Every structure is written in C-alpha cells, then in structure tokens.
C-alpha cells in the first residue's frame, strides 16, 4: 500500500511506520494517533511531504477525515500546508511541546529519557512555587483533600497498587497547581499528568514507590493545609528532585 509520506530530498531512508488499524468508532482519532506518533518519534522525519490524497489512500478514509487529521496536526505545529507543495513535517523546534498528546507520543519513542528529563526540569521550576502559592490561596476543601490524598497514596503505594497510586498522584498534583490560584500553573496540569502516566506506563516507577516520595507528598500536603508556604515549596522541591535522581540512574 502507498505510504502516506515522502522522504525529503537527500534524506536517508527512514523506517516506514507499521500500518495499524485506526480504532473505531473515532476513525479520525486513529489516523491522528498513527500520524502524530510517527512524526513525534522520528519515524517520519522533518521535511517529509504528504497530501490529503495519500492519507485517504493509505488509511482508507474519507477526505473529511483526512482534512481533520491534518488540521489537528497543524494545530500542534507538527505539519504545515502550502499550496502546490503539499503538507510538510516541521522541525522539532516548531512543535507545540506542551501539547499533552505530543508529550505522550514522544514518551513512546526512543527519546523517552530525554523527554522525561526535560519535563522533570519543568516540574522543578513550576511545582515548588505553585505549592507555596497553594499554601496561601487554596480553599479549605482543597487543603483537606490534599491531606486525604497523601494518606491514600501512602496506603496504595505501600501495597504496590500502581494503578490506584497513579490516579491519586495525578489528582494530587492537579490539585496543587489548581490550588495555587494561578491560572498559568493550573494550565500545566495535563502536562504533569502525562509525565506521571508516562513513568508508570513505561515501567520507570518501582513496584512500590520509594518511602521518600510518599513522605514528601505527605509533607507537601500538611504544609499547604497549615498555610506554611516556604515549607510547602521546600517539600515539593524534594519530591521532584527525588524523581530527577531516579531518572538519572543508569
């Protein structure tokens, strides 16, 4: 079957992405998933060109589905369309690297380690001050829920229930960012959620979370609940530093 893309002139042949069946009933979501993942992981290189006709033929979809897939990829700056040229894959420097789907795709590829390290650096810059802000701005319900979550995370973590732990961990960090009262911090909730999910999905988490991590979350929650901003910031910095140290190990 005809590939949906053409390698840029002078480029070394790239590995053709394996053909998969897009999931039903959201056919266009399957096309976006396959194309986006292939671009994000480097299987389809910058400068590769394709057309709507090629998408229709390769995936067996309608022109409407092909257009929608391209529209979504354009919104992420993965591709750019020009008349009489076609649709061209853009260099990595142009991508919307904060898009949660792009983060998920990049974590599935060979650059997973570098992606996790850069995202952990982002967390180190954002989450400690967000914790300090949450100690000042979080509602009573948010403070109470953070303490509950930290205790639940200790129980599920010690039991080795990583699925439950992941859900609680995502809720915990979302709540810290939302409780900061800063909409810019809160807008990064999905980014942090993808990082946490990616660590678990790709088995970069120990079977039982480290005691230091569990204690760190409890310390963050208690400091926010008590309105101790400096302590909340210090405790969260310890949490994300522990993650960075784990990722740095061979």
Token pair 């399957």 in the structure block, residue: 30
Residue 5 lies in a domain: no
**What confidence tens digit (pLDDT) does each residue in 129-147 have?**
999 999 999 999 999 999 9
Asked if 56 and 161 sit in the same domain, the reply is: no
Which residue segment(s) compose the domain that 131 sits in? Answer: 100-248
Residue 249: per-residue pLDDT? 63
| Domain termination site, one of 57, 76, 94 | 94
What mean pLDDT do residues 205-229 have?
Answer: 93
Average pLDDT over residues 112-122: 89
CB 239 within 8 A of CB 176: no
First to last CA, the chain: 41
| d(C-alpha 248, C-alpha 198), whole Å | 16
How many domains are contained in the chain?
Answer: 2
Residues 44 and 89 in one domain: yes
Distance between CA atoms of residues 196 and 192, nearest Å: 6
Both 90 and 106 in one domain: the answer is no
* % of the chain at pLDDT higher than 90: 70
pLDDT digits (tens, 9 = 90+) for 77-115: 999 998 888 899 999 999 999 999 999 999 988 988 888
Query: Model's pTM, two decimal places?
Result: 0.83
The pLDDT of residue 238 is above 60? yes
Question: How far apart (Å, rounded) are the C-alpha atoms in residues 56 and 52?
Answer: 6
Quote the pLDDT of residue 25: 40
Ramachandran angles phi, psi of 87, nearest 5°: -105, 125
pLDDT tens figures, 39-71: 999 999 999 999 999 999 999 999 999 999 999
Residue 20 lies in a domain: no
Cα separation, 185 vs 174, in Å, equals 9
CATH number for the domain spanning 53: value is: 1.10.10.10
- pLDDT for 147 equals 98
């Amino acid at each position: 079957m005809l590939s949906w893309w053409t390698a840029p002139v002078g480029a070394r042949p790239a590995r053709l992405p394996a053909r998969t069946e897009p999931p039903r009933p959201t056919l266009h979501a399957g096309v976006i998933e396959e194309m986006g993942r292939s671009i994000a992981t480097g299987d389809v290189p910058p400068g590769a060109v394709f057309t709507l006709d090629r998408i229709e033929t390769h995936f067996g979809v309608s022109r409407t589905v092909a257009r929608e897939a391209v529209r979504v990829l354009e919104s992420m700056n993965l591709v750019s369309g020009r008349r009489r040229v076609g649709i061209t894959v853009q260099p990595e420097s142009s991508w919307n690297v904060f898009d949660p789907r792009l983060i998920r795709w990049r974590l599935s590829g060979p650059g997973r380690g570098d992606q996790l390290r850069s995202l952990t650096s982002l967390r180190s810059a954002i989450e400690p001050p967000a914790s300090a802000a949450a100690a000042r701005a979080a509602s009573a319900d948010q403070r109470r829920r953070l303490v509950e979550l930290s205790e639940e995370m200790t129980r599920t973590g010690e039991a080795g229930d990583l699925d439950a732990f992941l859900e609680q961990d995502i809720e915990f960090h979302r709540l810290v960012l939302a409780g900061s009262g800063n909409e810019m911090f809160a807008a990064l909730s999905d980014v942090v959620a993808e990082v946490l999910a990616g660590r678990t999905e790709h088995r970069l988490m120990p079977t039982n979370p480290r005691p230091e991590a569990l204690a760190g979350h409890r310390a963050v929650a208690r400091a926010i609940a008590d309105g101790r901003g400096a302590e909340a910031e210090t405790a969260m910095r310890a949490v994300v530093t522990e993650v960075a140290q784990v990722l740095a190990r061979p």
